[in-house]
Structure formats: C-alpha cells, structure tokens
Amino acid sequence: MNNPTKSLVTGSAGFLGSHLVDLLMKEGHEVIAIDNETNGRWDNLQQWMNNPRFKKVHQDILEIQPDDENFRHLDYVFHLAGIESPITSLKSPEIFYSTNVHGTVKVLQAARQSQLKKFLFAGSSAVYGDASTPTLETDAVGPLTPSCLTKLQAEEATFHWGNIFEFPTNSLRIFNSYGPRDHAKIYPNSVFSIWMQQKANAQPLTIVGDGSHARDFIYCTDVANAFLVTAKEGKDGEVYNIGSGRATTLNEITDRIKGKKTFIKNKEDEPNKTWADISKIQFDCNWQPRIPLESGVEFSLDVLEDWASGPLWDQKKLSHYFETWFEVYS
C-alpha cells in the first residue's frame, strides 16, 4: 500500500487554510496543520481532530526553526499564514514585515529539509495596486500599503528560495475571497465578512463610497481547489491569478445579502475595480471556479449565526478606522 501524500499547511485554522485542509483530508492526504490562532480557530478543523492522518501543531511561524521536525518528509507545503490589513499597516507596518516576510523565510528555511514536489504561497491581488482590468499576471505591480508590499516581498522570497535551493514553487494571487469561516479577530477582515457580521447583528451594511466599486469575489472552496490543482499541475516558478473572472459591484452583492445599507466617505486612491484574468490557470491547470456568486452568498447566509460572535465593525468604528487612509491619501 502506498503511503499517503504528506502536506503541511500554515494558517490552517484560518479562513482559507481550514477549507484547504478539508479538501486535502478528503483527498486522502496526511496533513500537518500549523496555526497560532491569531486570526484562526481550531474549531474550524474540529471534524479532523481524531483522524490519524491529521496532526495539529499550535505554533507561530516566527518560532519555526530550520530543523523543525514537522517539515521533514513532506510532499507539499501550502503557506497560507500571514496577515493582511492595508489600513492598519499604514500606522503599524512592523508586524506585517515580521509576520509576512520574516515568517515566510522561516517556513522556507524549514521546508528545505524535504524533497518537495511543490511549495505554494498564498499571494494577494493587492500587489497589483490600481491596475488595469481584467488584470493579467504579467501586469505591473504597485502595492499601495505596507501590507500589500510585504505580500509581494514574501512572494519574491518564495521564488528566490525555490531557485537557489531547487524546489518547485508557485504563488496564487487571490482576489476577493469570501465564504463561511471568514471571521475578523484583530483587524477588519474582508468587506464580505464585515457585511455578514453586521447582518448577523442586525446592523445596516456599511458601504464605502456609493456602492459602484466592483470586486472580483471568489468563493473559499474554489480557492482551496485552486491550491490543490496548482500543486499538481502548475508550472514551476509561475504566478497564478485566483478569481471568478468577473467583477461584481458592492451594491449588487449587498442586494444579495439583503439588508439596510449605509454609506460612508469614499477612500481616494483605492482601485475602483478588481477583476482577475484567470485564463493562465485555466489553461495550465484546467481549473475553473465552480461556485457562482448567488450560491456562495446563500451558502454563507445558511451559517449566518457563525458571524454573530467576534468584534463587530459598525459604521462608526469603520469611519474612525478609515481616517488613517484619509490622513495618508489626501
């Protein structure tokens, strides 16, 4: 009997990480799940805790040593641990450099112990800045905040380590992911998560600007599937956009969530539209997003009570939070 594929996932108890672990476990992988619960919850993986193919490791990636035993004899490393909060990073950039850049180097160094089939990094579409749309992987990057810059630097470190130490790498530049388990603990999370928290607490849905801004929303399980197919089929050293391939206005998605809306001052210098060209991953990996927006919103509303706990970002708190952006971009 062949040994199961052995995968390690950082950020495994978080939003996308937990959905990826679900998929890997269902595919028969042996999974080492690393998280420190800064922004994740082990409850997201409770269904696997007694499975012999699953190993829970409560650890900060900054504590990982080059000889960490959890990184031995691996087939794949999926590095999803990190923090993203563009506005917070304008005032407190240090933690973003520490976690996203230094933390990624820690993971890369430990991963050198294995003869990896692939090291996959969770990149961000925010590295493009205010890009033309639909955005190609070959378009110029232009991160607008330290948070976005550190994601780009971590991506570059991933490819650099892969080239020097000869292991295959890919980076998935994820657009606006959404769905169950997307809970903010420390900073405001995705706009979809904010709306779901507001709806769960009977608050109006806060929209920045007039709602005409558009984003490329991609459902969480589609992102997990993109990681898996890229691990198997992605060309070494390549970046792949992960999105739905369409742009949806904020008004359209809040209409689907249903609820009273409230509007606050628009953020200048923020992209009016994000829209991924996904033809590259479609061609290289035969990947397609499977969950249409209307279904993804319904799946999320089915577990609305999960958003009732945790910090609530209402209109007043968000307006105060965005003042940092207006101070810098004015």
Mode of pairing for the β-strands spanning 169-174 and 30-35: unpaired
pLDDT higher than 80, residue 325: no
Mean pLDDT of the chain: 94
Residue 31 has what pLDDT? 98
Taking only the tens place, the pLDDT of each residue in 28-54 is: 999 999 999 998 999 999 999 999 999
What is the arithmetic mean of pLDDT over 303-324? Answer: 82
* Mean of pLDDT values over 233-239: 98
pLDDT (tens digit, 9 = 90+) per residue, 176-222? Answer: 999 999 987 777 768 999 999 999 999 999 998 999 999 999 999 99
pLDDT at 186: 72
| Residue 328: per-residue pLDDT | 75
Q: How distant, in Å, are the alpha carbons of 133, 144, 302 from that of 140?
A: 12, 13, 39
- Could you give the 3-state DSSP secondary structure of residue 218? strand
Residues 240-254 have a mean pLDDT of 97
Give the CA distances from residue 292 to residues 97, 243, 276, in Å, rounded to whole numbers and listed in that order: 35, 11, 15
Confidence of residue 1 (pLDDT cuts 50, 70, 90): low
- 118 three-class SS: strand
117-128 pLDDT, tens digit each: 999 999 999 999
Q: What pLDDT is stored for residue 327 in this prediction?
A: 76
Q: What is the pLDDT of residue 254?
A: 97
Q: Name the DSSP class of 197.
A: H
Residues 103 and 144 sit within 8 Å (Cβ to Cβ): no
Set out the domains of the chain in order of their start, with CATH numbers.
6-177+219-242 (3.40.50.720), 183-215+246-276+292-328 (3.90.25.10)
Residue 152 is classified by DSSP as: H
Phi, psi of 55 (to 5 degrees): -130, 120
Q: Is the pLDDT of residue 315 over 90?
A: no
In the chain, % of residues over pLDDT 70? 98
Q: Residue 230: which pLDDT band, with cuts at 50, 70 and 90?
A: very high
In contact, 111 and 153? CB cutoff 8 Å: no
Distance of alpha carbon 218 from alpha carbon 286, whole angstroms = 17
Nearest-angstrom CA–CA distance, 302 and 304? 6
Q: Bigger pLDDT: 80 or 317?
A: 80
- Comparing 235-249, 254-268, 279-293, which segment has the lowest mean pLDDT? 254-268
Check pLDDT > 70 for residue 330. no
Per-residue b/e over 93-106, b at no fewer than 16 CB within 10 Å?
A: eebbbebbbebbbb
User: Residue 119 belongs to what H/E stretch?
Assistant: strand 118-124
CA 80/CA 104 separation, integer angstroms: 9
Residue 267, pLDDT above cutoff 80 = no
pLDDT digits 0-9 by tens, 165-175 = 999 999 999 99
Q: What 8-state DSSP symbol labels residue 62? A: G
Q: Write down the pLDDT at residue 323.
A: 79
Alpha-carbon span 260 to 268, nearest angstrom: 24
Cα(270)–Cα(238) distance, integer angstroms: 27
Torsional class of 9: left (φ above 0), alpha (ψ -120 to 50), beta (otherwise): beta
d(CA 134, CA 111): 34
CB-based burial label for 132 (10 Å; 0-12, 13-18, 19+): exposed
Q: What's the rounded Cα separation, in Å, for the pair 229 and 106?
A: 25
DSSP 10-58: ETTTSHHHHHHHHHHHHTT-EEEEEE-SSS--GGGGGGGTT-TTEEEEE
Helices 15-26 and 220-233 pack at an angle, to 10 degrees, of: 60
Q: 128 or 92: which carries more pLDDT confidence?
A: 128
- Cα dist from 158 to 36, 116, 181, 204, 278, whole Å: 21, 13, 27, 41, 21
Residue identified by tokens 């696997």 is 48
Beta-bridged to residue 118, according to DSSP, are 76
